[in-house]
Amino acid sequence: MGIEELLSCPSLPLLSLNHVSFVCKSVIESARFYQEVLGFVLIKRPSSFNFEGAWLFNYGIGIHLLQCNSVNDVRAKPLVINPKDNHISFQCTDVALVKRKLEEMGMKYAMAVVEEGGIQVDQLFFHDPDGYMIEICNCENLPVLPLSACPLKKSSAYNESNKWSRVSLANVKALHEAEMERRMMDNLFADMIDITM
User: What residues contact 38, with CB distance under 8 A and at least 6 apart?
Assistant: 58, 90, 134
Q: Any catalytic annotation for residue 135? A: yes
**H or E stretch including 4?**
helix 3-8
**H or E stretch including 99?**
helix 95-104
Q: Which of left, alpha, beta for 63 (phi over 0: left; psi -120 to 50: alpha)?
A: beta
**One-letter amino acid identity for 125?**
F
At 125, is the secondary structure helix, strand, or coil? strand
- Residue 157 phi/psi, 5° resolution? -65, -40
* Whether the Cβ atoms of residue 55 and residue 41 lie closer than 8 Å to each other: no
How far apart CA 152 and CA 129 sit, in angstroms, is 38
Check 52, 135, 140, 160 and give the catalytic one.
135
- Residue 80 phi/psi, 5° resolution? -115, 140
- Residue 83 phi/psi, 5° resolution? -60, -15
- Which residues are known catalytic residues? 135
